A and B are shown apart, each in its own frame.
Chain A
Amino acid sequence: MNDRTNNTKHTIMSKYMFLFRGGNARFSIDPEADPQGWQAHMMKWKVWMDGLAAKGRLVGGEPLDQPGKVITGRGKKVTDGPFVEGKEIVGGYVMVNAGGLDEAVELSKGCPIFEYDGIVEVRPVQEMNM
Chain B
Amino acid sequence: MVATLTRLFGARHVGLAEDVVQETLLKAMHEWPFRGVPEQPAAWLYRVARNLAIDRLRREARGLELLKENAALLRSEWTLSSTVGELMSGPAIADDQLRMMFACCHPLLPPEQQVALVLKTLCGFSVPEIARAFMTNEELINKRLYRAREAFRELGRLEVPQGDALTARLDAVLSAIYLLFNEGYHSVSHAAFIREDLIVEALHLCQALLDHPVTQRPEVRALFALMCFHAARTGSRSDAEGTILLLKEQDRSKWDRALIALGNAHLDGSAEGERFTGYHVEAAIAAAHANALSYAATPWAYIVTLYDRLLHFKPTPLVRINRAIAVSNARGAEEALRELSAVDELHDLNLYHAARGDLLHELGRHAEAREAYRIALSLTRSPAEERVVRRKLEALG
Chain A min CB distance to B174 (Å): 29
The one of A1, A4, A39, A92 in contact with B78, judged by C-beta atoms closer than 8 angstroms, is: A92
Number of A-B pairs whose CB atoms are under 8 Å? 49
Please, what's the 1-or-0 string for A34-78, where 1 marks a CB less than 8 Å from any CB in chain B? 000001001101100110010000111111000000000000000
Whether B86 lies near A46 (C-beta < 8 A) is yes
Report how far A46 CA is from B83 CA in the complex, Å. Answer: 7
Using known A-B contacts A1-B68, A1-B69, determine if residue A45 contacts B75 with beta carbons closer than 8 Å.
no
The answer to whether B79 has its CB under 8 Å from any CB of chain A is yes
The answer to whether B161 has its CB under 8 Å from any CB of chain A is no
Tally of B interface residues using CB under 8 Å: 15
Chain B residues closer than 8 Å to A1, beta-carbon distance: 68-69
Whether A60 lies near B76 (C-beta < 8 A) is yes
Chain B residues closer than 8 Å to A42, beta-carbon distance: 78-79, 81-82
Q: Which of B56-77 contact A (CB under 8 A)?
A: 68-70, 72-73, 75-77
Whether B72 lies near A59 (C-beta < 8 A) is yes
Please, what's the 1-or-0 string for B335-372, where 1 marks a CB less than 8 Å from any CB in chain A? 00000000000000000000000000000000000000
The answer to whether A94 has its CB under 8 Å from any CB of chain B is yes
The answer to whether B38 has its CB under 8 Å from any CB of chain A is no
The residue among A4, A39, A46 with the most chain B CB atoms within 10 A of its own CB is A46
Whether B68 lies near A4 (C-beta < 8 A) is yes
Whether B77 lies near A63 (C-beta < 8 A) is yes
Using known A-B contacts A1-B68, A4-B69, A53-B72, determine if residue A39 contacts B85 with beta carbons closer than 8 Å.
yes
Using known A-B contacts A1-B68, A39-B85, determine if residue A50 contacts B73 with beta carbons closer than 8 Å.
yes
Whether B79 lies near A49 (C-beta < 8 A) is yes
Residue of A nearest to B69 (CB): A1
Whether A45 lies near B69 (C-beta < 8 A) is no
Whether A39 lies near B69 (C-beta < 8 A) is no
Chain B residues closer than 8 Å to A60, beta-carbon distance: 72, 75-76
Chain B residues closer than 8 Å to A59, beta-carbon distance: 72
* A interface residues, Cβ below 8 angstroms from B: 1, 4, 39, 42-43, 45-46, 49-50, 53, 58-63, 92, 94
Q: Told that A4-B69, A49-B72, A49-B73 touch, could you supply 8 new A-B pairs with CB distance under 8 A?
A: A1-B69, A39-B82, A46-B86, A49-B76, A50-B73, A58-B73, A60-B76, A63-B78
